[in-house]
Amino acid sequence: MTMIERLWIDICPIEAIPARGCRVVHTQQGQIALFRTATGEVFALDNRCPHKGGPLSEGIVHDRQVTCPLHNWVIGLDDGEAKGADKGSVRRYPIRLEDGRVYIDVRLVPVSSAA
C-alpha cells in the first residue's frame, strides 16, 4: 500500500492575504498563488493559467473562482478546473488553516509501507 506523506509549511497569517485577493509564494517548483475568498476560504493553485500561462494572481477573485487577466478564462479555486467551454486545469495544493495561520503542503511524497 502506498501512503502520501504531507509536508506542511507555515506561510503567513490569513490576514496577509487580502479578501477577494491573492498573495504569491515563490518555491523551487515555481510560483504558487494563495487566494482568499470574501468568506475567508483560502485556496492554493499554480500561478499559471492553463490557457496561455497568464498570472492568475493578478486576476479577479469572485465566489470560489478567479478570472485570468489575460483572456478571461475562469478557473475554479476549489478544483483548479477551467469553467464553461474552456478546457484545462492547474495544479492545486492542500491548505490547512490553524490558529489564524495558513499552511500549505507543497510536497507530496509517495511512501511505500511494508506489507
Question: What residue spans define the domains of the chain?
Answer: 2-107
* Residue pLDDT, tens place only, 4-61: 677 899 999 999 999 999 999 998 778 999 999 999 999 999 999 999 999 999 999 9
pLDDT of residue 113: 40
| Mean pLDDT confidence for 106-115 | 48
Q: Which residues contact 101 (CB under 8 A, 6 or more apart)?
A: 10, 11, 12, 13, 14
Question: Which amino acid makes up residue 40?
Answer: G
- The answer to whether the CB of 44 falls within 8 A of the CB of 105 is no
Closest CA to 33 of 72, 75, 3, 73: 75
Rounded Cα distance, 46 and 93, in Å: 8
- pTM, two decimal places: 0.87
Q: Which pLDDT value is given to residue 108?
A: 55
Cα within 13 Å of Cα(98), Cβ side = 8
Query: What's the CATH fold of domain 2-107?
Result: Rieske Iron-sulfur Protein (2.102.10)
Taking 90 as the threshold, does the pLDDT of residue 106 lie above it?
no
